[in-house]
Structure 1
Amino acid sequence: MTTETAPLRPTLLSRPLPIAIFIIIALILDQIIKIAVDNYLPLEEAVHVVPMLALYRTYNTGVAFSMLDHMDGWFIVTMRLAICAFVIWLWRRTPADRTFAHAGFAFIIAGALGNLFDRFLYGHVIDYILFYTSTWSFAVFNLADSFITIGAGCVILDEILGSIRKKPEQPKI
Protein backbone atom coordinates (compact mmCIF):
# COMPACT_ATOMS: atom_id res chain seq x y z
CA MET A 1 0.00 0.00 0.00
CA THR A 2 1.52 3.32 -1.01
CA THR A 3 0.84 6.49 0.82
CA GLU A 4 0.68 9.63 -1.22
CA THR A 5 0.93 12.98 0.42
CA ALA A 6 -0.99 15.91 -0.95
CA PRO A 7 1.17 18.59 -2.50
CA LEU A 8 1.83 21.63 -0.34
CA ARG A 9 -0.73 24.33 -0.95
CA PRO A 10 1.09 27.64 -0.59
CA THR A 11 -0.55 30.24 1.60
CA LEU A 12 -0.98 33.78 0.36
CA LEU A 13 1.67 35.27 2.65
CA SER A 14 4.22 32.59 1.77
CA ARG A 15 4.76 34.39 -1.55
CA PRO A 16 7.02 37.46 -1.83
CA LEU A 17 4.63 39.89 -3.53
CA PRO A 18 1.62 39.39 -1.22
CA ILE A 19 3.72 39.58 1.95
CA ALA A 20 5.45 42.73 0.65
CA ILE A 21 2.06 44.33 -0.10
CA PHE A 22 0.76 43.34 3.35
CA ILE A 23 3.83 44.81 5.07
CA ILE A 24 3.64 48.05 3.06
CA ILE A 25 -0.07 48.51 3.84
CA ALA A 26 0.54 47.80 7.54
CA LEU A 27 3.45 50.28 7.58
CA ILE A 28 1.38 52.98 5.89
CA LEU A 29 -1.48 52.46 8.36
CA ASP A 30 0.93 52.54 11.31
CA GLN A 31 2.62 55.73 10.09
CA ILE A 32 -0.66 57.53 9.26
CA ILE A 33 -1.96 56.84 12.76
CA LYS A 34 1.32 57.96 14.36
CA ILE A 35 1.34 61.20 12.34
CA ALA A 36 -2.25 61.91 13.42
CA VAL A 37 -1.42 61.10 17.05
CA ASP A 38 1.66 63.32 16.96
CA ASN A 39 -0.26 66.22 15.40
CA TYR A 40 -3.55 66.06 17.30
CA LEU A 41 -3.12 64.24 20.61
CA PRO A 42 -1.79 66.21 23.59
CA LEU A 43 1.58 65.02 24.93
CA GLU A 44 1.34 62.89 28.10
CA GLU A 45 -2.30 63.74 28.69
CA ALA A 46 -4.86 60.93 28.79
CA VAL A 47 -7.79 61.16 26.42
CA HIS A 48 -10.25 58.57 27.74
CA VAL A 49 -11.98 56.61 24.99
CA VAL A 50 -13.91 53.97 26.96
CA PRO A 51 -13.48 52.68 30.50
CA MET A 52 -10.00 51.16 30.82
CA LEU A 53 -8.76 52.53 27.46
CA ALA A 54 -7.19 55.90 26.82
CA LEU A 55 -5.11 57.53 24.13
CA TYR A 56 -1.93 58.83 25.70
CA ARG A 57 0.84 60.17 23.47
CA THR A 58 4.31 59.55 24.74
CA TYR A 59 7.73 58.99 23.22
CA ASN A 60 9.59 55.72 23.69
CA THR A 61 13.35 55.63 23.25
CA GLY A 62 13.54 51.87 23.88
CA VAL A 63 11.90 48.92 22.21
CA ALA A 64 8.39 47.54 22.72
CA PHE A 65 6.82 48.62 25.99
CA SER A 66 9.84 50.88 26.78
CA MET A 67 12.22 47.98 27.36
CA LEU A 68 15.90 48.81 26.83
CA ASP A 69 15.20 52.57 26.90
CA HIS A 70 18.64 53.10 28.49
CA MET A 71 20.44 51.56 25.49
CA ASP A 72 22.09 53.53 22.70
CA GLY A 73 19.80 54.27 19.74
CA TRP A 74 22.10 52.58 17.23
CA PHE A 75 22.11 49.39 19.30
CA ILE A 76 18.31 49.33 19.13
CA VAL A 77 18.30 50.05 15.38
CA THR A 78 20.83 47.28 14.78
CA MET A 79 18.85 44.89 16.96
CA ARG A 80 15.61 45.64 15.05
CA LEU A 81 17.35 45.13 11.70
CA ALA A 82 18.79 41.83 12.93
CA ILE A 83 15.34 40.72 14.10
CA CYS A 84 13.84 41.62 10.71
CA ALA A 85 16.60 39.70 8.91
CA PHE A 86 16.09 36.68 11.19
CA VAL A 87 12.31 36.69 10.68
CA ILE A 88 12.77 36.97 6.90
CA TRP A 89 15.15 34.00 7.10
CA LEU A 90 12.53 32.05 9.09
CA TRP A 91 9.83 33.06 6.58
CA ARG A 92 11.91 31.73 3.68
CA ARG A 93 12.63 28.41 5.45
CA THR A 94 9.06 27.76 6.62
CA PRO A 95 7.00 25.37 4.46
CA ALA A 96 4.60 27.25 2.19
CA ASP A 97 1.47 25.67 3.71
CA ARG A 98 1.99 27.11 7.22
CA THR A 99 -0.70 29.80 7.19
CA PHE A 100 -0.37 31.15 10.73
CA ALA A 101 3.46 31.16 10.67
CA HIS A 102 3.59 33.20 7.47
CA ALA A 103 0.94 35.62 8.73
CA GLY A 104 2.87 35.92 12.00
CA PHE A 105 6.12 36.68 10.20
CA ALA A 106 4.38 39.36 8.14
CA PHE A 107 2.98 41.02 11.27
CA ILE A 108 6.34 40.87 13.08
CA ILE A 109 8.23 42.39 10.16
CA ALA A 110 5.62 45.14 9.69
CA GLY A 111 5.69 46.02 13.39
CA ALA A 112 9.47 46.02 13.66
CA LEU A 113 9.81 48.17 10.54
CA GLY A 114 7.06 50.55 11.73
CA ASN A 115 8.94 51.27 14.94
CA LEU A 116 12.24 51.37 13.06
CA PHE A 117 10.85 54.08 10.77
CA ASP A 118 9.88 56.10 13.84
CA ARG A 119 13.40 55.76 15.20
CA PHE A 120 14.87 57.06 11.94
CA LEU A 121 12.27 59.81 11.43
CA TYR A 122 11.94 61.13 14.98
CA GLY A 123 14.69 59.57 17.10
CA HIS A 124 12.02 57.84 19.21
CA VAL A 125 8.88 55.74 18.80
CA ILE A 126 5.44 57.33 19.14
CA ASP A 127 3.27 55.35 21.56
CA TYR A 128 -0.37 56.16 22.23
CA ILE A 129 -2.50 53.22 23.47
CA LEU A 130 -3.00 52.87 27.23
CA PHE A 131 -5.00 50.19 29.05
CA TYR A 132 -5.60 50.92 32.72
CA THR A 133 -7.71 50.35 35.80
CA SER A 134 -8.01 52.49 38.92
CA THR A 135 -4.99 50.70 40.45
CA TRP A 136 -2.99 49.50 37.44
CA SER A 137 -1.91 50.55 33.96
CA PHE A 138 -0.22 48.66 31.18
CA ALA A 139 2.74 50.10 29.29
CA VAL A 140 1.78 52.59 26.58
CA PHE A 141 2.16 51.01 23.16
CA ASN A 142 1.25 51.50 19.49
CA LEU A 143 -0.11 49.66 16.46
CA ALA A 144 3.36 48.41 15.46
CA ASP A 145 3.80 46.85 18.92
CA SER A 146 0.39 45.22 18.47
CA PHE A 147 1.50 43.83 15.10
CA ILE A 148 4.57 42.27 16.75
CA THR A 149 2.44 40.75 19.53
CA ILE A 150 -0.17 39.40 17.10
CA GLY A 151 2.62 38.02 14.91
CA ALA A 152 4.26 36.22 17.82
CA GLY A 153 0.87 34.78 18.78
CA CYS A 154 0.33 33.53 15.21
CA VAL A 155 3.74 31.84 15.16
CA ILE A 156 3.07 30.17 18.53
CA LEU A 157 -0.38 29.05 17.35
CA ASP A 158 1.17 27.62 14.18
CA GLU A 159 3.68 25.65 16.25
CA ILE A 160 0.91 24.28 18.50
CA LEU A 161 -1.25 23.31 15.53
CA GLY A 162 1.79 21.79 13.81
CA SER A 163 2.61 19.62 16.81
CA ILE A 164 -1.01 18.45 16.97
CA ARG A 165 -0.94 17.49 13.27
CA LYS A 166 2.32 15.58 13.71
CA LYS A 167 1.09 13.40 16.60
CA PRO A 168 1.41 9.76 15.58
CA GLU A 169 -1.81 7.82 15.40
CA GLN A 170 -2.42 5.49 18.30
CA PRO A 171 -2.63 1.86 17.32
CA LYS A 172 -6.16 0.50 17.33
CA ILE A 173 -6.74 -2.54 19.46
Structure 2
Amino acid sequence: MEKTTLFSRPLPILLLVIVAMLLDQAIKVAVEMWLPFQQAVPVIPMLALYRTYNYGVAFSMLSGMEGWFIVSMRLVVVAFVIWLWRRTPKDRFFAHLGYAMIIAGALGNLVDRLIFGYVIDYVLFHTATWSFAVFNLADSFITIGAGAIILDELLQMKKRDH
Protein backbone atom coordinates (compact mmCIF):
# COMPACT_ATOMS: atom_id res chain seq x y z
CA MET A 1 0.00 0.00 0.00
CA GLU A 2 1.41 3.39 -1.00
CA LYS A 3 1.73 6.15 1.56
CA THR A 4 -0.41 9.22 0.83
CA THR A 5 1.61 12.46 1.00
CA LEU A 6 0.24 15.80 2.11
CA PHE A 7 -0.03 17.47 -1.31
CA SER A 8 -1.51 14.42 -3.03
CA ARG A 9 -4.81 15.34 -1.35
CA PRO A 10 -7.06 18.10 -2.75
CA LEU A 11 -7.54 20.25 0.38
CA PRO A 12 -3.85 20.78 1.26
CA ILE A 13 -2.96 21.53 -2.36
CA LEU A 14 -5.87 23.98 -2.60
CA LEU A 15 -4.81 25.72 0.61
CA LEU A 16 -1.19 25.99 -0.56
CA VAL A 17 -2.31 27.42 -3.91
CA ILE A 18 -4.61 29.98 -2.25
CA VAL A 19 -2.01 31.10 0.32
CA ALA A 20 0.71 31.34 -2.35
CA MET A 21 -1.56 33.33 -4.68
CA LEU A 22 -2.59 35.71 -1.87
CA LEU A 23 1.05 36.29 -0.90
CA ASP A 24 2.00 36.85 -4.56
CA GLN A 25 -0.85 39.33 -5.07
CA ALA A 26 -0.15 41.17 -1.78
CA ILE A 27 3.49 41.69 -2.78
CA LYS A 28 2.44 42.90 -6.24
CA VAL A 29 0.03 45.43 -4.68
CA ALA A 30 2.88 46.72 -2.49
CA VAL A 31 5.20 46.87 -5.50
CA GLU A 32 2.61 48.86 -7.46
CA MET A 33 2.11 51.28 -4.56
CA TRP A 34 5.70 51.92 -3.49
CA LEU A 35 8.22 50.84 -6.11
CA PRO A 36 9.10 53.35 -8.85
CA PHE A 37 8.47 52.15 -12.40
CA GLN A 38 11.57 50.89 -14.23
CA GLN A 39 14.03 52.32 -11.72
CA ALA A 40 16.38 49.93 -9.97
CA VAL A 41 16.27 50.01 -6.17
CA PRO A 42 19.41 48.20 -4.96
CA VAL A 43 18.90 45.64 -2.20
CA ILE A 44 22.30 43.92 -2.07
CA PRO A 45 25.04 43.65 -4.68
CA MET A 46 23.62 41.84 -7.72
CA LEU A 47 20.00 42.13 -6.50
CA ALA A 48 17.62 45.02 -7.05
CA LEU A 49 13.91 45.64 -6.98
CA TYR A 50 12.79 46.83 -10.41
CA ARG A 51 9.09 47.19 -11.22
CA THR A 52 8.23 46.48 -14.81
CA TYR A 53 5.41 44.91 -16.77
CA ASN A 54 5.64 41.64 -18.67
CA TYR A 55 3.22 41.36 -21.58
CA GLY A 56 4.38 37.84 -22.47
CA VAL A 57 5.09 34.73 -20.46
CA ALA A 58 8.23 33.74 -18.54
CA PHE A 59 11.20 35.97 -19.36
CA SER A 60 8.92 38.07 -21.64
CA MET A 61 8.73 35.31 -24.25
CA LEU A 62 5.72 35.62 -26.56
CA SER A 63 5.26 39.28 -25.58
CA GLY A 64 3.96 40.02 -29.08
CA MET A 65 1.13 37.49 -28.81
CA GLU A 66 -2.50 38.36 -28.19
CA GLY A 67 -3.64 38.40 -24.54
CA TRP A 68 -6.33 35.76 -25.12
CA PHE A 69 -3.67 33.37 -26.47
CA ILE A 70 -1.48 33.79 -23.39
CA VAL A 71 -4.44 33.39 -21.01
CA SER A 72 -5.56 30.27 -22.90
CA MET A 73 -2.04 28.87 -22.83
CA ARG A 74 -1.78 29.42 -19.05
CA LEU A 75 -5.13 27.68 -18.51
CA VAL A 76 -3.98 24.72 -20.63
CA VAL A 77 -0.77 24.49 -18.58
CA VAL A 78 -2.74 24.54 -15.30
CA ALA A 79 -5.13 21.88 -16.61
CA PHE A 80 -2.17 19.72 -17.74
CA VAL A 81 -0.43 20.04 -14.37
CA ILE A 82 -3.67 19.11 -12.57
CA TRP A 83 -3.93 16.08 -14.86
CA LEU A 84 -0.33 15.10 -14.02
CA TRP A 85 -1.00 15.63 -10.30
CA ARG A 86 -3.98 13.27 -10.40
CA ARG A 87 -2.03 10.58 -12.27
CA THR A 88 1.08 10.69 -10.06
CA PRO A 89 1.30 8.03 -7.34
CA LYS A 90 0.27 9.46 -3.98
CA ASP A 91 3.57 8.62 -2.27
CA ARG A 92 5.63 11.09 -4.34
CA PHE A 93 5.86 14.10 -2.04
CA PHE A 94 8.16 16.34 -4.09
CA ALA A 95 6.21 15.80 -7.31
CA HIS A 96 2.94 16.76 -5.65
CA LEU A 97 4.54 19.76 -3.94
CA GLY A 98 5.99 20.82 -7.29
CA TYR A 99 2.63 20.56 -9.04
CA ALA A 100 1.01 22.69 -6.32
CA MET A 101 3.68 25.36 -6.67
CA ILE A 102 3.45 25.44 -10.46
CA ILE A 103 -0.34 25.79 -10.28
CA ALA A 104 -0.03 28.59 -7.69
CA GLY A 105 2.53 30.48 -9.77
CA ALA A 106 0.64 30.09 -13.02
CA LEU A 107 -2.62 31.23 -11.44
CA GLY A 108 -0.91 34.15 -9.66
CA ASN A 109 0.39 35.45 -12.96
CA LEU A 110 -2.93 34.70 -14.64
CA VAL A 111 -4.70 36.96 -12.14
CA ASP A 112 -2.38 39.82 -13.16
CA ARG A 113 -2.95 39.12 -16.83
CA LEU A 114 -6.74 39.13 -16.43
CA ILE A 115 -6.83 42.29 -14.27
CA PHE A 116 -4.12 44.42 -15.88
CA GLY A 117 -3.34 42.81 -19.24
CA TYR A 118 0.25 42.21 -18.09
CA VAL A 119 2.19 40.59 -15.24
CA ILE A 120 3.90 42.72 -12.60
CA ASP A 121 7.58 41.76 -12.24
CA TYR A 122 9.95 43.24 -9.68
CA VAL A 123 13.04 41.12 -8.87
CA LEU A 124 16.23 41.72 -10.85
CA PHE A 125 19.51 39.82 -10.55
CA HIS A 126 22.34 41.67 -12.30
CA THR A 127 26.02 42.49 -12.56
CA ALA A 128 27.68 45.51 -14.14
CA THR A 129 27.60 43.81 -17.56
CA TRP A 130 24.71 41.33 -17.33
CA SER A 131 21.18 41.12 -16.01
CA PHE A 132 18.74 38.27 -15.66
CA ALA A 133 15.11 38.69 -16.69
CA VAL A 134 12.99 40.56 -14.16
CA PHE A 135 10.65 38.14 -12.37
CA ASN A 136 8.23 37.86 -9.43
CA LEU A 137 7.22 35.50 -6.64
CA ALA A 138 4.80 33.57 -8.87
CA ASP A 139 7.67 32.90 -11.31
CA SER A 140 9.73 31.67 -8.36
CA PHE A 141 6.93 29.28 -7.37
CA ILE A 142 6.92 27.87 -10.90
CA THR A 143 10.71 27.47 -10.94
CA ILE A 144 10.88 25.87 -7.48
CA GLY A 145 7.94 23.63 -8.42
CA ALA A 146 9.75 22.44 -11.53
CA GLY A 147 12.86 21.82 -9.42
CA ALA A 148 10.82 19.77 -6.93
CA ILE A 149 9.46 17.62 -9.76
CA ILE A 150 12.98 17.07 -11.13
CA LEU A 151 14.19 16.18 -7.62
CA ASP A 152 11.31 13.72 -7.29
CA GLU A 153 12.26 12.08 -10.59
CA LEU A 154 15.91 11.79 -9.50
CA LEU A 155 14.86 10.23 -6.19
CA GLN A 156 12.64 7.77 -8.06
CA MET A 157 15.54 6.81 -10.34
CA LYS A 158 17.78 6.26 -7.30
CA LYS A 159 15.05 4.17 -5.63
CA ARG A 160 14.71 1.99 -8.75
CA ASP A 161 18.48 1.47 -8.91
CA HIS A 162 18.54 0.00 -5.38
**TM-score, normalised on structure 2?**
0.99
One-letter amino acid of the counterpart of residue 86, structure 1: F
- Of 29, 41, 63 in structure 2, the residue corresponding to residue 35 of structure 1 is 29
Structure 2 counterparts to residues 122-133 of structure 1, below 5 A: 122-133=116-127
User: Are 2:84 and 1:111 aligned?
Assistant: no
CA distance in 2, matches of 1:116, 1:59: 13
CA distance in 1, matches of 2:124, 2:26: 19
Alignment-derived partner of residue 43 in structure 2: 49
Structure 2 counterparts to residues 64-79 of structure 1, below 5 A: 64-79=58-73
Alignment-derived partner of residue 141 in structure 1: 135
Higher relative helix content: 2
Tell me how far 1:20 sits from its aligned partner.
0.1
CA distance in 2, matches of 1:67, 1:38: 22
One-letter amino acid of the counterpart of residue 57, structure 1: R
The DSSP-based 3-state class of the residue aligned with 1:166 is helix
Coordinate RMSD, CA, aligned: 0.6
Q: How many residues align?
A: 162
Alignment-derived partner of residue 85 in structure 1: 79
One-letter amino acid of the counterpart of residue 133, structure 1: T
Tell me how far 1:9 sits from its aligned partner.
1.0
CA distance in 1, matches of 2:157, 2:68: 38
- Of 8, 11, 29 in structure 2, the residue corresponding to residue 14 of structure 1 is 8
Residues 139-166 of structure 1: per-residue CA shift (max 9 Å, x gap): 0000000000000011111111111111
CA distance in 2, matches of 1:131, 1:27: 23
**TM-score, normalised on structure 1?**
0.92
Residues 28-65 of structure 1: per-residue CA shift (max 9 Å, x gap): 00000000001110000000000000000000000011
Tell me how far 1:74 sits from its aligned partner.
0.6
CA distance in 2, matches of 1:129, 1:26: 17
Larger radius of gyration: 1
One-letter amino acid of the counterpart of residue 146, structure 2: A
Percentage of matched positions with identical amino acids: 67
